[in-house]
Amino acid sequence: MKNILSFLDSNGIQFKKIGQQYVCRCPICKGDNAVHKHNAQINLNFNNIYCYSEGKVYFASDIRAALGGKVL
């Protein structure tokens, strides 16, 4: 399995490193008006993202389904 960063990159989802953390816009909810740039933290240890706007953890399979089933 690819790591989550490779998966996000291959699906056109931008992310960046801030300090020791990687962050992105949640590819599922796209954020809310209160969050201006990034609303999800990428967890490299568990290959998932945590969306602060929704308070949910998403794995690559969840993101893949939301993007229309693109292959991991």
- Total structural domains within the chain: 1
Residue 35: which region, alpha, beta or left (left: phi > 0; alpha: psi -120 to 50)? Answer: beta
Q: Which residues contact 22 (CB under 8 A, 6 or more apart)?
A: 5, 15, 16, 41, 42, 44
pLDDT of amino acid 35: 52
- Output the tens digit of pLDDT for each of the chain's 72 residues: 468 999 899 888 889 999 999 999 998 887 665 556 788 999 999 999 999 989 999 998 898 888 887 544
pLDDT of amino acid 72: 44
pLDDT of amino acid 30: 75
Full domain range(s) for residue 52: 4-60
42: tokens are 């990428």
The pTM score is: 0.81
Q: Is residue 39 in some structural domain?
A: yes
Q: Is residue 66 in some structural domain?
A: no
Q: Is residue 65 in some structural domain?
A: no
Q: Which residues contact 45 (CB under 8 A, 6 or more apart)?
A: none
